[in-house]
């Protein structure tokens, strides 16, 4: 009899909707606290602060695709192609302080270094000089134009560069991304045609439009592993 009375009470509550309302109220979510409401805004502010701590800087003037590049071949049977890396980089940057005639990237950097126009710190519009690297068949180095510079929190840089003659046929590559470490003076290509093998490339530094005020120590480290020449005694054994 007691069980029947309990069931009758439950049926009456369900019929009136009181039990449903009671259950709904007990399951309702409490309003968010002030800290919970403020959390998304704090995250947005923190993210914005972190991203704006080291903003990227790029060259001011936008240029059309292929600016300063018109592939030609000089001499007999194809000869040498143009523009090589230096003429293209000079045209883009308007840097022509050391006019040495038919020179190589390493010689150009050494001349600019003597004048005080070089720096280990990259800036948009500068020329990036990669040193001699026999392992990758770069006996005279390579010159690139710096389009954009993005400082990283660890002191390294993410650089957007453009260059020509990356394939010894004077083709143009624009907007490749490079990771540069000024402490080791090495660069890694993250994108572009050199990304498959362009790792730990020796960087001489960067050439600017005016004296940098830096005194750069000439690089004396080996740029690649080369095989030692056999001695006279070893040659006689052959």
Task: State the CATH class of domain 71-207.
Answer: alpha beta
pLDDT at 175: 97
Q: Strands 80-82 and 72-74: what pairing? A: antiparallel
Mean pLDDT on 60-70:
89
Query: Does the pLDDT of residue 9 top 50, yes or no?
Result: no
Higher pLDDT, 135 or 105: 105
3-state secondary structure the chain: CHHHHHHHHHHHHHHHCHHHHHHHHHHCCCCCCHHHHHHHHHHHHHHHHHHHCCCCEECCCCCCCCCCCCCEEECHHHCEEECCHHHHHHHHHCCCCCCCCCCCHHHHHHHHHHHCCEECCCCCCCEEEECCEHHHCECCCEEEEEEEEEECCCCCEEEEEEEECCCCCCCEEEEEEEEEECCCCEEEECCCCCCCCCCCEEEEEEECCCCCCCCCCCCCCCCCCCCCCCCHHHHHHC
| φ, ψ (nearest 5 deg) of residue 79 | 60, -145
Query: Does the pLDDT of residue 28 top 70, yes or no?
Result: no
pLDDT in tens, 33-44: 444 444 433 343
Mean pLDDT on 152-175:
96
- Tell me the CA distances in angstroms from 58 to 33, 123, 133, 161, 201, one per residue in order: 44, 8, 28, 11, 23
Task: Check if the beta carbon of residue 182 is closer than 8 Å to that of residue 202.
Answer: no
112 φ/ψ sector (left φ>0, alpha ψ -120 to 50, else beta): alpha
Task: Check if the beta carbon of residue 186 is closer than 8 Å to that of residue 202.
Answer: yes
pLDDT in tens, 222-236: 333 333 344 444 444
Query: Does the pLDDT of residue 183 top 90, yes or no?
Result: yes
pLDDT at 215: 66
Query: Does the pLDDT of residue 26 top 90, yes or no?
Result: no
- Could you tell me the residue ranges of all domains in the chain? 71-207
d(CA 172, CA 197) in angstroms, rounded, equals 18
**Residue 200 burial (10 A CB sphere; 0-12, 13-18, 19+):** middle
* 181 prior amide bond cis, ω within 30: no
Q: Smallest Cα–Cα separation from 137: which of 40, 235, 27, 223?
A: 223
Query: Does the pLDDT of residue 198 top 90, yes or no?
Result: yes
């Amino acid at each position: 009899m007691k069980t029947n009375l309990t069931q009758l009470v439950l049926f009456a509550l369900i019929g009136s909707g009181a039990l449903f309302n009671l259950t709904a109220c007990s399951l309702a979510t409490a309003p968010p606290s002030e800290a919970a409401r403020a959390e998304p805004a704090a995250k947005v502010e923190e993210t914005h602060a972190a991203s704006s701590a080291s903003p990227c800087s790029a060259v001011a003037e936008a240029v059309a695709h292929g600016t300063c590049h018109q592939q030609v071949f000089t001499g007999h049977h194809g000869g040498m192609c143009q523009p090589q890396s230096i003429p293209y980089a000079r045209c883009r940057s308007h840097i022509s302080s050391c006019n040495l005639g038919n020179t190589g990237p390493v010689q150009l950097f050494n001349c600019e270094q003597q004048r005080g126009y070089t720096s280990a710190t990259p800036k948009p519009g500068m020329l990036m000089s990669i040193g001699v690297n026999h392992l990758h068949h770069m006996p005279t180095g390579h010159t690139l134009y710096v389009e954009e510079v993005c400082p990283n929190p660890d002191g390294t840089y993410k650089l957007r560069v453009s260059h020509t003659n990356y394939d010894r046929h004077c083709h143009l590559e624009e907007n490749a991304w490079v990771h540069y470490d000024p402490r080791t003076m090495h660069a890694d290509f993250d994108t572009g045609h050199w990304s498959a093998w362009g790792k730990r490339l020796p960087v001489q530094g960067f050439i600017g439009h005016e004296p940098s005020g830096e005194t750069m120590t000439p690089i004396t480290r080996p740029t690649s592993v080369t095989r030692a020449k056999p001695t006279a005694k070893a040659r006689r054994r052959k």
